[in-house]
Structure 1
Amino acid sequence: MDILVVCVLLLGALHFFKSREQAERVVLLGSYLGKFQIEKLMQDVLGGYHRALGEADVDRQAQVWRYLEPQEQALAAQFGKFVLDFAEVYEARARVSRLPLALPFVSLAIPSSTFDLRKLMGVHGQGISQAVANVQGLSPKRRAFTVMAELLLMQHSCHWFCRSKLVASARMLGRHQTTYPQLLEAVAPATRQAYLAVLGQPGR
């Protein structure tokens, strides 16, 4: 019975500290993202892509692509500014556990099992900017899929930082019917290589 009580107390303490740490991360990231209109622009761009991709008429589809250009450029520019601002965060506060589940104090106790979100956001910023500029010379449709993947992988990283990798992947699957491995395959090769390098994983 004593062991059971101790286990319950330990689990309760673990949940308390995990919840507090996650709340602090949400506030930290939100304090930087709140300076910009990144979320709104992202919703507008992704919604526009879905309309364009569902448009059968080629001319009307081209009109949607042109209409979205200023919003795409604004999104890339604002995210670039966010990356510069977020780079000023103290490193210990930007460390993210590579473990699937969220455990409190991992970044302090086992820093080797973490990665730096500031560097990862830098990768996302470059990936989004290059995809919007279409440095690969892709077709409008293929370019849209690449930009979408870059944006969703960035969103996955934000959720990973605030919650956990498992929660981030589950949200991506539930909201966008896309798995984490599918996102990695859909982004530009340069983004994928740089992203995996920050995570300390072998490239593909």
Structure 2
Amino acid sequence: MEGWLLALALGAGVQWARRREQQARIERLGRHLQGNPLERLMAHVLDGYLRALDEGDTQRRQTLWAALEATERELAAAARRLAVSFADVWPDDALVSTLPVALPYAHKLFPRATFDMRRALQLHADGIAAVVDNASGRSRRDRAYTLTAEALLLQHTCHWYCRSRAVASARLLARHRTSYAQVLDAVSPQTRSAYLALLGR
């Protein structure tokens, strides 16, 4: 009986510590997103892509693509501002555990199994900016496809920072019917390479 009570108390303590850490991370990231229209711009761009791709009239489709260009540039600027703002976070508070299970303060207990959120946000901002600039000459459809993946990977990283990789992947699948692996496969080769290197893969 005493062992059962001890296990119950230990489990409750772990849950409490995990919720406390997650809440602190949510609040920290929220402070850096305050006043930043990143999420609104992301939703606007993704919805705009769906409308443009579904449009049967060529002239109307071109008009929709043209109207999205300014919003894409705003999205790139918003991602850049988040990266710059978050760069000032204390290094220990920027570490994210890569362990398959969410443990409280895992970044302190297993510092080798972490990635730096500051660097992650920077590579996401660089990836979005590169797709928007389109120096590689992607077609409008391919550009939309790649930028969608870049934006969703950024969103996944933010959810991973606040909760866990499992929760981030589940939210991605539930909200966008897209798996983490599909998103990672669809971003630009430069983003994918930098991202996997950051995760130590």
What TM-score do you get using the length of structure 1 for normalisation?
Answer: 0.97
Matching of residue 181 in structure 1 with residue 184 in structure 2: no
Partner of 2:45: 45
Residue 134 of structure 1 aligns with which residue? 134
Higher mean C-alpha deviation, range 19-28 or range 50-59: 50-59
Taking the aligned partners of 2:134 and 2:51, their CA distance within structure 1 comes to 20
Whole-Å separation in 2 of the counterparts to 1:11 and 1:88: 34
Separation (CA, whole Å) in 1 of partners of 2:100 and 2:157? 13
Aligned residue number for residue 18 of structure 2: 18
TM superposition shift of 1:25: 0.3
Q: Which letter maps to 2:199? A: L
CA distance in structure 2 between the partners assigned to 1:198 and 1:33 by the alignment:
23
Q: Partner of 1:67 in structure 2?
A: 67
> How many residues align structurally?
201
CA distance in 1, matches of 2:108, 2:99: 14
Residue identity matched to 2:24: E
**Residue 184 (structure 2) pairs with residue 194 (structure 1):** no
Q: CA deviation at 1:171?
A: 0.6
Name the counterpart of 2:8.
Answer: 8
Residue 35 of structure 1 and its aligned partner are, at CA, apart by: 2.8
State which drifts further: 35-44 or 88-97. Answer: 35-44
Where does the alignment leave 5 or more consecutive residues of structure 2 unmatched?
none
- CA offset at residue 135 of structure 1? 2.1
Read off the aligned partner of 1:79 and give its amino acid letter. A
Moved over 6 A (4+): none
Aligned to 1:121: 121
How far 1:136 moved relative to its partner?
A: 1.9
